[in-house]
A and B are shown apart, each in its own frame.
Chain A
Amino acid sequence: MMARAQAKQDALSARIAALALPEGLRPARDAALARLSGMGLPLRREEYWIYTDPARLNAAEPPALAAEGEADFFAALDRARIVFTDGAFDAAASDDLAQAGVEIETLSDAASRDIHWVRDFYGSLETQGQTPVARPFAALNTAFAADGVVIRVTAEATRPVELVYRSTGTVSDPILHHCVKVEGGAALTLLEVGFAGARYNTTLEVDVADGGRFNHIRTQGRAHERVANTHLFARVGAEAVFKSFTLSANGILTRNEAVIELAGAAGVAHIAGAAIGEAGFHHDDTVFITHGAPGCESRQVYKKVLKNGAVGVFQGKILVRQVAQKTDGYQISQSLLLDDDSQFLAKPELEIYADDVKCSHGSTSGAIDETGLFYLRSRGVPEAEARVLLVLAFLAEALQEIEDETIAEEIRSRLESWLL
């Protein structure tokens, strides 16, 4: 036992040896460091790390990563772009923040000016999200994040805000932390595009106040060597709507954690992911949704397409507290295994303390339907194209979670071109 605790501390020391606590937001950072020191870093085979090796996320030296060379996402949308290159805000490449239509600034600016709401908010949802399941990499993020954005939305944002992550391949250890506060009745669409480096740690904290709407679309691009570890912490108020969709392609290791609390009556939280990968690909979605108020609806829709020995992981939990009567919870995780070498590891969990709830969950693994494939081919559709159609059909339920038609169409056509 002692040896294990020591090993966790050793892993932590090795990971943070080269990191320094940035200036600003020191109380929150110090507290996060204290939390982190208490936890150490996770070791293989701990609960929630059974299927994914944490050592690969915290290797002292991340591998080099070539630039991605993917055409810009969402070019058809009028959006405010904020670019981070190698983990640092890239003013030259970004749009004018003053014109974004929402209150927005970089985390480092906000920290130096000690903005009230940021000081109170930074790390607060992450702290709450540490129980009942510890998330040391998120605490590490809060302590060491060099930059990010803080956004406050007080009305319906006129256009989406897009965060773009670029890497020049030289610095591979970006740690970014974003804070988003959507006030009552306000609305924002946040786009996140790209990977930031061979080792990439982001945290997004989102508070959606009563009647607010937050829509999140994230694409994690195709760089094969990418290692990504992301956390999304959200608190959803009464009659508020939170929606998040993530597209992941390739990447040797991706772990996307989401911790969502439905804190007010009749709130809605939908979270979905579509992932495709082959060979060294390992993709892990770990989701925890708490129904903490009555009459809320939650959906988790995860689809993974796995090929040539790829591994998909889904750990999804719905916790329904006693107050949360009339809960409507839905969870589905499915994999399409394109060969016998790939595997899907799923751990769906329900923990329900209220008696008047409707919760369903399902998890399946399957292969391409050969009969359907022949039917398509018999109508003249070439085999490769027919397979893509069937793969897209498999992903459809996750893609349907994207509300915006233009975005949905773009994601679909990217997938199509990647799959062909």
Chain B
Amino acid sequence: MLEIKNLHVKLEEEDKQILKGVNLTVEAGKVHAIMGPNGSGKSTLSYVLSGREGYEVTEGSATLEGEELLEMEPEERAAAGLFLAFQYPVEIPGVGNMTFLRTAVNAQRKARGEEEMSAAEFLKVVREKAKALKIDADMLKRPVNMGFSGGEKKRNEILQMAMLEPKMCILDETDSGLDVDAMKLVSEGVNALRDEGRAFLVITHYQRLLDHITPDVVHIMAGGRIVKTGGPELALEVERNGYADIMSEAV
């Protein structure tokens, strides 16, 4: 599904290398988790994959189902099936959440040469999925993420993912800011989407989320590289001992 090879990324504005040779392959149907200390480059990796400006790829490649991602515009990546649940979801004053969702759904359909979703069908689907995430009608009407609490913003990210049904879902610390119940809702939302044709890359600091969303593979990122890869037990090890052992091992 997603194949990242020797990815080197620096900031455009300054001479600062952030990713220093990331290698990562995520197969369809699998859930991969990335853990790693603050500032190790996890969000940077997710932004670079989704096409945010301000970064320069100096070496390496990233492909989604064989297609070169790094050459595409952000909207093309989305239409190709990539989705990023932001660590810090963005507030957009003046754009209603519903309008935003419908525009996004239909834009992607159009890009793939599919028919647009009718207003009635859209409404039905969005209400159903919002309900499952305990997002009320008022939140759907409000401007995108405006006045949403931290946890509400994260649930809104998952609603977008559920509506867009992407193939490759990257979740950047979607668990941070969620209360225990919301964590369950979000996990259920993710698990409901798990299937053979879809893959997840879950960035998190805590085992807590992985209790609900069991990963197939766990990676540890440090200093702009994947320094260790293992099974679910690796996350438990981090939970118990932190990163010190792993880092010294990796060096």
Contact = CB atoms under 8 A, between A and B. Distances in A.
A379 B92 CA distance: 13
A383 B73 contact: yes
B139 interface: no
A335 to B, nearest CB: 15
A389 B103 contact: yes
B94 A393 contact: yes
Given A371-B90, A374-B74, A385-B103, A380 B108 contact: yes
14 contacts: A370-B53, A374-B53, A375-B86, A375-B92, A378-B77, A379-B100, A379-B104, A380-B79, A381-B75, A381-B104, A382-B73, A382-B111, A393-B92, A396-B94
B111 to A, nearest CB: 7
Given A379-B78, A381-B103, A393 B95 contact: yes
B92 A378 contact: no
Given A374-B53, A379-B78, A379-B160, A385 B107 contact: yes
Contacts of A385: 103, 107
On chain B, which size bracket covers the interface? 20 to 34
A372 B143 CA distance: 12
A380 B107 contact: yes
A375 B144 CA distance: 10
Interface of A: 369-372, 374-383, 385-386, 389-390, 392-397
Contact of B107 (A369, A370, A374, A382): A382
Interface of B: 50-53, 73-75, 77-79, 83-84, 86, 89-95, 99-100, 103-104, 107-108, 111, 143-144, 160, 164
Contacts of B79: 380
B198 to A, nearest CB: 16
A383 B94 contact: no
Given A371-B90, A374-B53, A375-B92, A380 B100 contact: no
Contacts of A392: 94-95
Given A385-B103, A389-B103, A393-B95, A377 B74 contact: yes
B75 to A, nearest CB: 5
A376 to B, nearest CB: 7
Contact of B75 (A369, A383, A389, A394): A383
Q: Most B CB atoms within 10 A — which of A380, A383, A390?
A: A380
B95 A390 contact: yes
A86 B46 CA distance: 60
Given A370-B53, A375-B90, A385-B103, A380 B164 contact: yes
The interface centre, meaning the residue of B53, B84, B86, B103 with most chain A CB atoms within 10 A of its CB, is B103
Contacts of A383: 73, 75
A267 to B, nearest CB: 29
